[in-house]
A and B are shown apart, each in its own frame.
Chain A
Amino acid sequence: GAVVSQHPSWVICKSGTSVKIECRSLDFQATTMFWYRQFPKQSLMLMATSNEGSKATYEQGVEKDKFLINHASLTLSTLTVTSAHPEDSSFYICSAPPTPNSPLHFGNGTRLTVT
């Protein structure tokens, strides 16, 4: 149980376009989801906390107008990278806990390449 699914698993886009990444909790409801970014050979960096029915909370240094987060239902959060540039190329990973104190369950990530 407690499966988190991300889509797409990889995407290539041209500079200046926008890309939407979906994160779904398949067998539980998630009032909170977390979005991470990971560059090659580096650790995961928390970008933002997605809250169902309210605004996301962004970490310091993360541009909220560039990384749009929508958590419209208890099973779906989306991250939209707007006006993508090559430096946005990274591995984006979402996670969610079935309950606030349970372990985080992670999606398998989305590899974004901006050309």
Chain B
Amino acid sequence: DAKTTQPTSMDCAEGRAANLPCNHSTISGNEYVYWYRQIHSQGPQYIIHGLKNNETNEMASLIITEDRKSSTLILPHATLRDTAVYYCIRRSAGKSTFGDGTTLTVKP
């Protein structure tokens, strides 16, 4: 099964770090971990991806465990506009299969 496992929902206080976990225990050696988010009635937006090293960009940080069986997306200072469904996806050079994602609600 190419899906990943994520908690259904999470809350985060505005200005605090949001840590979103993802389990991908059956990931293959050539599969990357990608994170996207989707705000209601829009197409998904790319956030970050990685293979085995931790990654950081202007939006977020991605921490991948050494065995690559899980990862955590970190939004360092969550804002109300970060409220969305966050998807963790396994992908090689082919198609991507979306799991159910985590609904993150950032509260004032």
Contact = CB atoms under 8 A, between A and B. Distances in A.
Interface in B70-107: 87, 91, 93-101
Contacts of B93: 100-101
B24 interface: no
A91 B41 contact: yes
A95 B98 CA distance: 13
Interface of B is mostly: loop
Contacts of A79: none
Interface residues of B, number: 22
Contacts of A44: 38, 44, 87, 98
Interface of A is mostly: strand
A107 B36 CA distance: 13
Interface in A70-115: 91, 93, 95, 100-101, 103-109, 111
